[in-house]
Structure formats: C-alpha cells, structure tokens
Amino acid sequence: MEGTFTRKGSDRSIERAAIIGTGILGASVGWNLTRRGVQVVFVDAGQPGEGVTNWSFSWVNASNKTVRRSYFDLNVAGMAEYRDVAGTIGPDSWWHPTGHLRWAGDSAAEADLLETAALLVDWDYRVEMRTGAEVRRRFEAGLTVPDNAPVVFYPDEAWVHGRRLVARLVGDAVAAGAEQRFGAAVREIGAGGSGGGGQDGQGGRSGWSGWTVGLSDGTALDVDAVVNAAGPAAADIAALVGRKLPMRYEPGAVTRLSCAGSPLPIHRAMHVPHIELRPDGDNSIVLHSREIDALIDTGKDPADLGQLLHDLARAAVPTLTNCRITETRISNRPIPADGFPSVGTVPSTPGYYEAVTHSGITLGPILGRLLASEIVDGAGADLLSDFRPERFG
Ligand SMILES: Cc1cc2nc3c(=O)[nH]c(=O)nc-3n(C[C@H](O)[C@H](O)[C@H](O)COP(=O)(O)OP(=O)(O)OC[C@H]3O[C@@H](n4cnc5c(N)ncnc54)[C@H](O)[C@@H]3O)c2cc1C
C-alpha cells in the first residue's frame, strides 16, 4: 500500500480538468483521471505524442537513476507501472520489454559501469553479467563487442514507442468520454469561469473558482483544474498562473534510420561506447549520443549531427551501413532546474498541478497515476515527497 500525505488547499471537488500538453505525461495523467471519473479535456498545440515523447531514446530504466535513492525508487516504480499498464491495455506495438545491454569502451568507464552494477545488485535490481562473446551468441549477433568485454544486461528494462502509447491512452480515454482539442495552443489561464462543478455543497466555491483556459483558436475552456504537462514549454504555462518554474536548457539530438529492405540488425535497447541504439518498430532504428548532444550549440546542422550518429552506430553495428537516415530532430529535455521531477499541486495556486520531468518515458505512467489520485483524493503519494513543485518558490 503506497503511503500518502494530505494536500493543503481547498476541499473543492474536481469534475473537469484541462490537461495542457498531450505527450506521455499528459496522456498518462488524463487516462488515469478519466478512469477515476473526471471529465478530461486533452489540449495540445500540435498533435498528441509528437513532442519530445516522439524524439526520445525512450528507454525504461532505473539503472541510470542512482543519483538519489528516492529517485531510483520512483523509477523502479515506473518500470512496474509499465507492466501493469501493458497488462491493462495490452502491449500492442508500443511495449518492448526486451532488456538493456551496456558495455564500456575504456577502463575508466568500465570501472564506473561495474561499480554501478554492484550498487544496483545491493539495491535488489536485477543485473546479469555477460561477456561480449556470449552477448553475440545469445542476444545480438551483429555487434562488434570484444569477446572478453564485460557486458551488463538489465533484464527488466525495456523500450517504449512513446507516440503509439500516447495514441492508445488518449484513444481509450476519448472512447470513455474525454474531450480532445489538438492543434490549439493554450494562450491564457484566468481565474473564474463556470467550471464543471465542484461546488462545496453550501452554494459557494471553497478555495478557488476554477480556471478559464484560453486557446489559440479563440475558444475557452471552463475547468476546475489545469495540469501543466507541457514538457519543455512547462515554464511558459506556469507563468500563465503567475508561477516561476525554473527549467534547465539541455537539448538532445535523436536520429531515425530506416532499414527497410534489410533485416533489423538489433533487437533491444543498448548503450555501447559513444552511442545508444534501439529498434523503433517498422524497420526503424533510433540513435542518440550524449557526445553528439554536446555539439548541438556549436552551430552544426542537425543533418550533420545525424550523419555523425550514423557513423558512430556503424562502428558498433556494421550492417547499419544498409540503413539510411530519415530524420534528425533536436529537442530540449523538460528538466526542472534541480534535475528532478516537479509533480503535484502548488499550495498557493489551488487547482493548478504540475507533471514536468526528465526521464518522462520511464516515469509518465507512474506519475500519471499518482497525480490523478492526488487530484481526485486531495492526498499526494509519499513516493513523490522529494519531487513536490513547492520546492521552487
Ligand atoms: C534526446 C532525449 C533522450 C531521452 N531519453 C529518454 C530515455 O531514454 N528514457 C526516458 O525515460 N526519458 C528520456 N527522455 C526524456 C523524455 O523523452 C521526456 O521526459 C518525455 O518525453 C517528456 O514528455 P512530456 O509529455 O512531458 O513532453 P512532450 O512529449 O514534449 O509533450 C508536451 C506537449 O505539450 C505541448 N505544448 C507545449 N506548449 C503548449 C501550449 N502552450 N499549449 C498546448 N500544448 C502545448 C506540446 O505540443 C507537446 O506535445 C529523453 C529526452 C530527450 C530529449
């Protein structure tokens, strides 16, 4: 049983909520709220799932989250939540629980990798040690990993097709009565409006009078609550309710390859020296590298960054020469200033909630469920106590 703490603020009930931003965070919050009986309006300036969620490495993991124990625990809960969601809606073509391979290219990086693996074992995380030769024999025949290299395999990790998952969650919620307003950006959030209900039972409003959300198409939504799930634009949405949400600037470049006409040369997500690779469904491969991200602000064209990524990938998987680049996109990671999620209500602004985080692929479903519970029940989960919005002013 998850612990909870009581949210300060009004006891006003929430019958209608606008979800601002329909990436993995907004889709997960909205899907869970719909299941809890709230009338949800999904809003997005573009189309659902086509923001950072579609340009992510999309690796579901906690092995890369050892910086703080509470953050690691939240990510482990995120992994478990995926298994539950896949059990509830079916895995379709979005869920790929194929584990994760990782090996290092030099002795210092290898020492770090093995130290982290030992820590993870201490924290009861499943870790399997393999050699390069074993990995080629049992998992991925096409890799150039040296025979004796120690390779860490995390069997419980996965990758997710974020855009398809968002489509499933939004589709299910809409089938259950949720509304959708796509291609319309939120421009204004004002106090008041008739709201969807939420009377305090004595003929008046208790605490706040709901919100009127103005959209770029000239229409407005009257709601009891707004959820800021605008990803990299979250600070702009926060500013509309008078809140300063400090965010980092940390862009990342992702390239998609098409391998149509040749067999897909890899079958799971992996970190190999200098680059990360994973399948992306439909004969595609996704590439990302922190080393290439470091070149984004040097003025290089995204197409050049894509070419560099392809070169690094071919060193690890030579048959990727047969695949061609379809697109390279640069996105800013939605990271609150201290690097951790900002999730929950802001006591000074009742009816306003944040769902803003990096590692949002791993964390979207768990944060969506916990935030929906907080919105409906008025109590936040203990698992989120280190990640409350009020730590930012
Ligand atoms: C290179 C890279 C690699 C990553 N790798 C991983 C990984 O391996 N594992 C992992 O867990 N996470 C990873 N992440 C992070 C993860 O992708 C994000 O945390 C997650 O996708 C954020 O989802 P979101 O729903 O918050 O944002 P988004 O998907 O960007 O959705 C926000 C939505 O808000 C909409 N919006 C913005 N402004 C407005 C407005 N004014 N009105 C209406 N709508 C608006 C946008 O159109 C967008 O659709 C990575 C990120 C990057 C950039």
CA 146 / ligand 1 centre spacing (Å): 36
For tokens 């929950």, the residue is 344
Residues contacting residue 289 through CB under 8 Å, at least 6 positions apart: 253, 274, 275, 276, 308, 309, 312
Structure tokens at 301: 């064209």
Q: What is the pLDDT of residue 361?
A: 98
CB of 53 closer than 6 A to ligand 1?
Answer: yes
CA 166 / ligand 1 centre spacing (Å): 11
CA 130 / ligand 1 centre spacing (Å): 34
- CA atoms 118, 122, 123, 127: torsion sign: positive
CB of 373 closer than 6 A to ligand 1?
Answer: no
Q: What is the pLDDT of residue 393?
A: 81
CA 261 / ligand 1 centre spacing (Å): 31
Question: Ligand 1 pocket: which of 56, 95, 327 to mutate (most atoms <8 Å of CB)?
Answer: 56
pLDDT tens for 327-368 read 999 999 999 999 999 999 999 999 999 999 999 999 999 999
| Alpha-carbon separation of residue 286 from 232, 250, 256, 368 (angstroms) | 21, 19, 5, 26
- Is the pLDDT confidence value at 100 over 50? yes
Phi, psi (deg, nearest 5) at residue 5: -130, 155
- Is the pLDDT confidence value at 9 over 70? no
Please report the DSSP string for 303-328 in residue order: HHHHHHHHHHHHHH-GGGGG-EEEEE
- Is the pLDDT confidence value at 258 over 80? yes
For the chain, the domains span 4-54+163-248+337-391, 100-155, 251-332
Q: What is the pLDDT of residue 207?
A: 58
Cβ(212)–Cβ(32) below 8 Å: no
CATH code of the domain occupying 4-54+163-248+337-391: 3.50.50.60
d(CA 87, CA 80): 11
Structure tokens at 3: 């612990």
Q: Give the largest CA-CA distance in the chain.
A: 74
CA 198 / ligand 1 centre spacing (Å): 31
Residue 199 or residue 19, greater confidence: 19
**Residue 26's closest CA among 347, 343, 379?**
343
> Whose C-alpha lies nearest to ligand 1, atom 13?
359
For tokens 């040097």, the residue is 298
